[in-house]
Structure 1
């Protein structure tokens, strides 16, 4: 019999199971089972005994746990999983089950056990910034109920003077309580590196990897693999891997030394369908199609002209759902999202278009407020009709507002790209896949499962439906092959030389392995080593290259260590290849002299090498001619002379990533942002989307942070060590000086910061001491959720700033935290 969902409040038996489970996991005194902290595979027996968990009396905290609304629903499979002896004893575990089955709740309970009963911090690794922000929000009850710090490590969070603890490496040592670090893939790897480097990795008791299947995806998958390998060799904690789309579980479990818990249970039944022509078919478990109904003509479209606007009969798949329930429409491209959004917003019945007018108008005003009063006319009209599009061309703030109004039922339809399925937890009653394509490529099974997994909202729907629109012929054949075919294997991408060389440099720098035989053992235990027999040859070639380029040195006993340059590359989290490229260009710029009459030259030096964009050479020429003569002369000495650029103006070539003229073109955009021009104005001038421009700005700030860490380790780069940090701070905020402190608050951009400042909330302290209801009545277009988030963010910032200062005092005067606080209190 398949598991059924039960409510804790309605089922005393289930409550008892859950209580027993939580008692075990939290290590309470009235529990017979207490888990041990899992020692590293390289630990000595003495170290193992030192790390053994002690029982904790936390029955009070355990009882408080049952009052948390977010933990009131529990399924039988979750009870079964939480009662697994391997999980309780601290063994690594892979949890494989469909999207929406409730994997995250299990992970949260395991982390709760770790921070309360074992007093150790946790890391949860997520693939995208949007998921990190969503996870931080959902874990906020940990802070409220258990005094646990939830810290975000994502591209949008960089350590700065105003946010000293935000994204800090290594993280600050908390005076009181433990932390849960919510990190994107790259930041998690850097976080693990920093904790190993300062011998604090044993502070981490649990590492949760969301979307574990991404370990098989190109470079980012290799970064996941690297981080887990380093944690398994130096840490003593538990790894929980979660995914809905795993195939080669045996290899992954061998790599992670993990038990496997798997079920096909889904709390909301999913019915998968395919529409071919006017016929609707149900997809059977074996992939075969069973005819359900002939939809006939699109009865809602009266005229032939309108019928031609909806040739796939999309509207007929919406009428029985909207407005009572919600629909996600996945489209192949960003442009198709907008086209479908425009079509649907015009063709939906008037009764749907005119619902909740006041709330939709408020949403439009909120979007305009975030974007300096400017908003796409299509997006504005669509939202007023209950529809929106959602893709990377929008800014993160625009996407967040659209997600919020969709969740609140203010709009009922979102037309989106495939990234929403992987990047945001946003379920709907029905999912429609407009075409079995992503861009120009056929839909892959992993992508399909992620999309259909969004169908059915637990607690709201008793069923979820997914309909794929397929044209007969080639599309139908490819779709059938995908449905009937197996999931692709998660193959390691550590075999890529650039990624592999970074991994080897990390292992040597962190002293995890420093001899050839030690390195061979570590590599053999990776997923790459398990899947490939030629790993030893690649290792030897990599060591030769690292030695050749002076990144590592080897002594007479065959022991490898990182050189000064190698330490700099490791600290900056750069690949050896990228570091050589950056180092060469920075040296050339420094030799020629940095032009300090403006910040343009520094901006040009910070632009990443992996950004592509189509250049409008007319705009390029106009921007170049506005540069001061001194900067034009410097660019000429660096190889960008006027003669070469004139040739580009005439030939109008398509440039590759990293070419100097392309990086110069991006610098023109950043320079305008630096001068406080709005995102909308700059994006419009250079004919790029605001979302793309925002991503470029974030990437440039991250690259500048890496260059700063690199410069700190290489004496010849000392000017950059002093110049770049202020550049990063100003570039990230691109705003008036008085608003910069307020921009550190979550969800506060330039428009909102100006509102707060003008209303008298001029400092973080004033915001932290404010009542959210006062903000609500004072700031226009602010809802209660946003007001609460802003006040909470201000309090967290103050807490972190205080913790930073206490840590500095500890280091400077040699007193403990309690002694410092005692002396401080005696002064008042």
Structure 2
């Protein structure tokens, strides 16, 4: 049911659309791809009918009545709200441009950027910079690299460009210079690599002539690569057999762990002087107890080196920026400017209030709690969400969420809907299923199902379904139902390929509403016209001010929206806490080295192992350069240092003689494998036990050995554990016995028992049980069981299975280095082979085929069984011959009408061409290698 015409024209999105005709949306982006008519049937279902076929097939016969979102009515008000901190753009509409201020042009001589770089940025839509970016770049000593920088700017305010320019200047001014860009998540690393490669495309660095190079180094000039003057951008994350060196890249985009390892290696090999720039993104995570402390280790080691390397730290949420400035000896800059301002709102009991006045909102909360009449409130609502006649929308929070999201989608904009209610006594998979099957996205879909939409968009959504369907995991039935309506979910339970397809579709306007969890919404770069937050809790606890600001910062698309909107919906009991949260100060950042995880032990072990410190004085000098030294009292730090050195000595990681510290072989192995000291001690005990009696007549023992030991908070399904244990052969049972795992204990847990974790011995035993449970999943992956089947078997998300495989590859690479450092060559070789199998998801006979793009696991087996047993066989095949094989490799799926099957085959043919090209390249390399060997 459409809202009354008068009311509809008063809604925020619609009224804005009417007033500003220049808004650009992506609704009609792209052109409809023509299709040839089928000759076998006279009936041609419309695009809308085929979309309904997807939905009905996925519901398996469940026909539910359609829902109608509630109407939203604007309230006339003469009150003027104060300007939000995010609304500078609106308050100062006459923002200068490069036509007025020449220094806002990237070609301004003082920036010293080459024309090719300026042209590349222009082609990517960056023609000018903002005034705050100019002021920041022109800070003392920044452009010439003699001063470090710490700065803060809102999400979407253009902060990354400042770091990119400074980093590229360091790399371009010296042909030997290297730079590292450090990011928290793999997805961000992959996205940034793509972006930087576009920026540096075609750039050329001036190479030194023989006159500029010492005579003993001149011979190396004749050995340069053909592209030696280009700028190579390489991403580093996960595992890898080849140890990365400076010669492999010019700009390395790394996760925290990889950056720390690269710097350790370079310091140890005395090549660190080539490093000229290090950018630390999301600097507020430096006090994160899980991984952020690695940023402190990275920066402190660089500060201790004594050579010029420019450190640039940035974040959208930095409170005590002065402390970070003192730590890094950096110039600081802070701005609240956003090119797309954000209007923030609080939604309570169907009333929408502006969130710009702290005192007014707190008073309103108090008045509402005391039961005051709405007309007497100081803060009047600006809009009202009318109650819904549907019983499904009786909850006022859910009703408001659906109404706001539906209004956004119908107006042609995108909404990012963040959902994180607490569902008691449910583990993660159950919560995920609750969201997907019975929750908010599901009801959003029902509210939008029959919305009129341009056929071009429906075609694109069907294309998206075809892309998802062509993946090895098949098409998720929940996505099959909701995507035709423009609704999808984006969470860690999806595979990387699924998340990429959904994110791209949303970014291009094909999808209009995306639901995500709190943590994912803060980490993904998917801006929206509206960000709608369902409550402000993760589990039982309120989220922090930093995460709230990160999520709100996703609102507003530069170049697509002139404004962004955030709506935080809260329940009556949470009103006061949520209002205080919305206006709470950001928490002050402190060091993460003094938590109960003993991070300072790792810091000391690393600097001793890489010989950055070897005496008590040099250790203390290193500690004085940490953020820790500015966070707590000196006597407390000294006590931590003394106890940590003593613990490292007792664990036989370091040894001291005449007040000089050196790392033992074991200590060097722990550092080389990037393990925490506690995890390193556990791995050493496990390895020593394996070396005494290794079970070689099966796979379980070696799979167990490269199953990660860190972050084993996995939820074990003990019924599945018992079932898999009962299927183990004699070799697998011997491994369990050898590891100290008891079948009686597994049976007890499967019947509802508890696994004791009181003493250190009990904690270690519990760790072994969890590790063995993960090893069972790895066994299935290595034996070609598809990811979606492993997911179903162990009751875990598909994305979690994929992440486990990727994590294990990284851990296996660390274990190989550990064994090599300990001179355990045979164990390293075994782990190396199984690392290949894990990467391929296949048995040994398919490892060669698995090197071909898109051919992994079950797909490789299907190719093998159809006669394509070698890379050469695939290389010499016509891509059309490969399509039927790819069809066989797909999981069971809903059969569609002929026209949709044709589109599906077109997708597979495109994939077959990529496979054939990849096989051709590999085959040519094999042929060349054979020629050289002869």
- The interval holding the TM-score normalised by the smaller chain is 0.7 to 0.9
CA distance in 2, matches of 1:118, 1:127: 28
**SS at the partner of 1:145?**
coil
2:352 maps to 1:280: yes
2:392 maps to 1:291: no
**SS at the partner of 1:659?**
helix
- Following TM superposition, by how much is the alpha carbon of 1:212 offset from its aligned partner in structure 2, in angstroms? 0.5
1:228 match: 299
2:349–2:396 Cα contact (<8 Å) kept: no
CA distance in 2, matches of 1:332, 1:626: 38
1:250 match: 322
CA distance in 1, matches of 2:729, 2:251: 49
1:211 match: 282
2:332 maps to 1:264: no
1:326 match: 414
TM-score (structure 2 length as normaliser): 0.73
- Following TM superposition, by how much is the alpha carbon of 1:434 offset from its aligned partner in structure 2, in angstroms? 0.9
CA distance in 2, matches of 1:173, 1:390: 37
- Following TM superposition, by how much is the alpha carbon of 1:563 offset from its aligned partner in structure 2, in angstroms? 1.1
- Following TM superposition, by how much is the alpha carbon of 1:116 offset from its aligned partner in structure 2, in angstroms? 1.4
- For residues 809-828 of structure 1, the aligned pairs below 5 Å read none
- Following TM superposition, by how much is the alpha carbon of 1:352 offset from its aligned partner in structure 2, in angstroms? 5.1
1:152 match: 235
- For residues 64-463 of structure 1, the aligned pairs below 5 Å read 64-65=119-120, 67-90=122-145, 91-119=147-175, 120-146=177-203, 147-155=230-238, 158-160=239-241, 164=242, 168-169=243-244, 171=245, 173-174=247-248, 179-234=250-305, 235-284=307-356, 286=358, 288-289=360-361, 290-298=379-387, 303-304=390-391, 311-323=398-410, 324-332=412-420, 335=432, 337-338=435-436, 339-348=439-448, 350-351=450-451, 356-373=457-474, 375-463=475-563
CA distance in 1, matches of 2:568, 2:319: 23
**SS at the partner of 2:278?**
strand
- Following TM superposition, by how much is the alpha carbon of 1:646 offset from its aligned partner in structure 2, in angstroms? 4.2
2:483–2:511 Cα contact (<8 Å) kept: yes
Deviates more, 1:670-679 or 1:303-312: 303-312
- Following TM superposition, by how much is the alpha carbon of 1:428 offset from its aligned partner in structure 2, in angstroms? 0.4
1:44 match: none
2:240–2:810 Cα contact (<8 Å) kept: no
**SS at the partner of 1:370?**
coil
> Residues 11 and 236 (structure 1 numbering): CA distance in 2 closer, same or farther, change over 3 Å?
closer
CA distance in 1, matches of 2:723, 2:686: 25
- Following TM superposition, by how much is the alpha carbon of 1:498 offset from its aligned partner in structure 2, in angstroms? 2.8
- For residues 405-804 of structure 1, the aligned pairs below 5 Å read 405-472=505-572, 474-496=573-595, 498-533=598-633, 534-556=636-658, 558-592=659-693, 594-609=694-709, 610-650=711-751, 652-654=753-755, 658-715=766-823, 717-735=824-842, 780-781=906-907
Cα deviation, 1:532-590, whole Å, max 9, x if unaligned, reads 1121111111111212222111122x111111111111111112211111111111122
Q: Which runs of 5+ in 2 are unaligned?
A: 1-86, 204-229, 362-378, 422-430, 758-762, 884-901
- Following TM superposition, by how much is the alpha carbon of 1:795 offset from its aligned partner in structure 2, in angstroms? 13
Deviates more, 1:330-339 or 1:225-234: 330-339
Q: CA RMSD in A?
A: 3.7
CA distance in 2, matches of 1:706, 1:644: 31
**SS at the partner of 2:470?**
helix
Which structure's relative contact order is higher, taking Cα pairs within 8 Å and 6+ residues apart? 2
> Residues 116 and 541 (structure 1 numbering): CA distance in 2 closer, same or farther, change over 3 Å?
same
> Residues 778 and 476 (structure 1 numbering): CA distance in 2 closer, same or farther, change over 3 Å?
closer
2:184–2:256 Cα contact (<8 Å) kept: yes
- Following TM superposition, by how much is the alpha carbon of 1:732 offset from its aligned partner in structure 2, in angstroms? 1.9
1:54 match: none
**SS at the partner of 1:85?**
coil
CA distance in 2, matches of 1:308, 1:107: 45
2:609–2:671 Cα contact (<8 Å) kept: yes
2:325–2:332 Cα contact (<8 Å) kept: yes
> Residues 518 and 381 (structure 1 numbering): CA distance in 2 closer, same or farther, change over 3 Å?
same
**SS at the partner of 1:488?**
coil
CA distance in 1, matches of 2:847, 2:637: 50
CA distance in 2, matches of 1:145, 1:762: 37
Cα deviation, 1:360-391, whole Å, max 9, x if unaligned, reads 12212222222333x33112211121101111
2:349–2:397 Cα contact (<8 Å) kept: no
TM-score (structure 1 length as normaliser): 0.82
Deviates more, 1:514-523 or 1:302-311: 302-311
CA distance in 1, matches of 2:728, 2:534: 47
- Following TM superposition, by how much is the alpha carbon of 1:223 offset from its aligned partner in structure 2, in angstroms? 0.9
CA distance in 2, matches of 1:98, 1:790: 43
